[in-house]
Structure 1
Amino acid sequence: MTSTILQLSDPFGQVACRESGQGEPLVLIHGVGMQSAAWAPQIEALSGSRHVIALDLPGHGGSDRIAARSELPVFLDWLLAVLDALQLPAVSLAGHSMGALIAGGFAVRHPERVARVALLNGVFRRDDVARNSVIARAEMIRAGAFDLDTPLKRWFGDTPIERAARDDVAAWLAAVDNDGYATAYDAFARGDALYADGYARITCPLLALTGGDDPNSTPAMSRAMARAAQRGTAEIIENHRHMVNLTAPDAVNAALQTWLETPIAQGEPT
């Protein structure tokens, strides 16, 4: 695996990514507060047959920030600039949490650049109570009230594999740039319905996967995303929560492998 720095034009600056393998490109986008290292089990498992590229979101890991209070469309513009810099006309695109919001919106806005899309622990049309709660958390983060324990308690149980994953996630959260975190979280809080109506226009294979015990990126949301798309499939990993790609890597990798082997329709990007 190699670490790469891409230099984009203004306003996006530098983007850090991890690359491994050869073949058809698979681009991975992590969630708020994480970094590309959070995809380690998927990079290891899938790079035997794909060119896997895991990106650091703006203001995360080694990537430069974008403007404060940038909304979800700016993150889509950022991803388009990254794919252009990598000279990738079309990719299989997988995102986790905030990364899933970006991937889903990108598939709506730029269908010609997406051969397949996978949405792990994604959010979709929150109800008013959930939306108000997450917006309130976004405002607290913006004000500098960074609470490490609350997301960890929400994301993890107490099994050995969850405790190990929790330690890694805690370290990534503790290291994140607060301004970058606040900007991404605000876009995450306000973007769950922005491209939802457009999912009906997604014609490529779509996988919506979450943990059966994820209280925020719920199984109902994944099933709704899959129903909305023309070729959608939902998969629920029971007895797991929000960081399912780390706590149930074998099950997630198997689901992603099946998704990657799903034929694309004639006329879709390759």
Structure 2
Amino acid sequence: MKLEVDGRDVFATTGGVAFDPAKAAVIFLHGAGFDRTVWRLQTRWFAHHGRSVLAVDFPAHGWSDGPMLTSIAAMADWTAALIEAAGLRTAALVGHSMGALVALDCAARHGAKVRALGLCGVAAGMPVHPEMLESAKANTLKVQELMTFWGVGDALHKGGMVSPGLWLRRESLSVLARNRPDVIHADLAACNAYKDALERAATIRCPAVLVLGDGDLMTPAAKAKPLTAALAGARTVIVAASGHFMMVERPDETLAALQSCV
């Protein structure tokens, strides 16, 4: 499905069901360097159970037009514009990693548009290792290798995907390799620079659930505790035997956690 936001084409998938703005909507926001495809398993369930779904490619990602956005705040404003462009009054936002920060910021500053939050692989602060930033700035392969090696939980490095035929690290590397120059660096730099999560969280009143992997090396579950405390009434679900990419590593458990909120 194509939409137009700020005069640019945006691509989104709808979970296999035609998008209907009259239904309660869930918008899925991907993480740094990735695209809409990370949500393919969760989107189908929501689309076939009474929700309208949009899993979007951020500008300059996947099939969406550029230019890329270089701050979490800019992506949050873009998400608010996306909600309007889709003909919606409100939507639940489900974000992963960078997308979770975007969802949080959007809910804080455009609260009337956001009815619920699902925050996956998130922490109160998300600093990025200098080695990753250096490689991303130079557009070398090392950043892609580090993102997948540190991001995928230990169990999945050895196989065991519940979806037959998927090799998670290889698939993740393939998605990252499709990025346009400088996009991964812009995404990581935006996460690294964002310091407003706790201040923003304190102003949010919609329901929220944090979905965290117990083996996440990029955003360890312990580092989300201040965020959970700042979000009034938020729940935390720890996904067992999962790294940073819980929606692909442990799709059923991630879906169950999101169902409780959005």
TM-score (norm 1): 0.85
Question: Kindly, what percent of the aligned residue pairs are identical?
Answer: 23
> Which residue is equivalent to 2:150?
154
Q: Give the distance between the partners of 2:9 and 2:183, measured in 1 at CA.
A: 14
> Which residue is equivalent to 1:116?
116
Q: Is the 8 A contact 1:33 1:173 kept in 2?
A: yes
1:99-114 correspondence runs (5 A): 99-114=99-114
Q: Give the distance between the partners of 2:92 and 2:84, measured in 1 at CA.
A: 15
- Deviation string, structure 1 residues 127-171 (Cα, Å, up to 9, x no partner): xxxx3x535522431222332221221122323218622232121
Where 2:202 maps in the other structure, the secondary structure is helix
Q: Is the 8 A contact 2:104 2:200 kept in 1?
A: no
> Which residue is equivalent to 2:188?
185
Q: Give the distance between the partners of 2:66 and 2:183, measured in 1 at CA.
A: 6
2:203 maps to 1:201: yes
- Deviation string, structure 1 residues 103-148 (Cα, Å, up to 9, x no partner): 011111111111001110013125xxxx3x5355224312223322
Where 1:240 maps in the other structure, the secondary structure is coil
1:117-266 correspondence runs (5 A): 117-126=117-126, 131=127, 133-135=128-130, 137-147=132-142, 148-156=144-152, 157-161=157-161, 164-191=167-194, 193-260=195-262
> Which residue is equivalent to 2:55?
54
Q: Name the stretch that deviates more: 115-124 or 148-157.
A: 148-157
Letter in 1 for 2:259: Q
Q: Give the distance between the partners of 1:134 and 1:87, measured in 2 at CA.
A: 39
2:3 maps to 1:6: yes
Q: Give the distance between the partners of 1:79 and 1:72, measured in 2 at CA.
A: 10
Letter in 2 for 1:152: T
Q: Give the distance between the partners of 2:223 and 2:247, measured in 1 at CA.
A: 17
Q: Give the distance between the partners of 2:242 and 2:213, measured in 1 at CA.
A: 5
Q: Is the 8 A contact 1:138 1:189 kept in 2?
A: no
Q: Give the distance between the partners of 1:180 and 1:194, measured in 2 at CA.
A: 22
- Deviation string, structure 1 residues 59-81 (Cα, Å, up to 9, x no partner): 1101122357x222111121122
> Which residue is equivalent to 2:38?
38
Q: Is the 8 A contact 1:122 1:208 kept in 2?
A: yes
Q: Give the distance between the partners of 1:14 and 1:73, measured in 2 at CA.
A: 20
> Which residue is equivalent to 2:12?
17
Q: Is the 8 A contact 2:135 2:141 kept in 1?
A: yes
- Deviation string, structure 1 residues 157-204 (Cα, Å, up to 9, x no partner): 32321862223212111111122222222112211x223212111111
> Which residue is equivalent to 1:28?
28
Q: Is the 8 A contact 1:91 1:113 kept in 2?
A: yes
Q: What root-mean-square deviation, in Å, do the aligned CA atoms of Structure 1 and Structure 2 show?
A: 1.9
TM-score (norm 2): 0.88
- Aligned-pair CA distance for 1:82: 1.2
Where 1:188 maps in the other structure, the secondary structure is helix
Q: Give the distance between the partners of 1:224 and 1:160, measured in 2 at CA.
A: 33
- Deviation string, structure 1 residues 85-110 (Cα, Å, up to 9, x no partner): 11211101100011001001111111
Q: Which runs of 5+ in 1 are unaligned?
A: 261-270
Q: Give the distance between the partners of 2:215 and 2:176, measured in 1 at CA.
A: 22
Where 2:237 maps in the other structure, the secondary structure is strand
Matched residue count? 248
Q: Give the distance between the partners of 1:63 and 1:174, measured in 2 at CA.
A: 16
Q: Give the distance between the partners of 1:67 and 1:167, measured in 2 at CA.
A: 25
Letter in 1 for 2:54: I
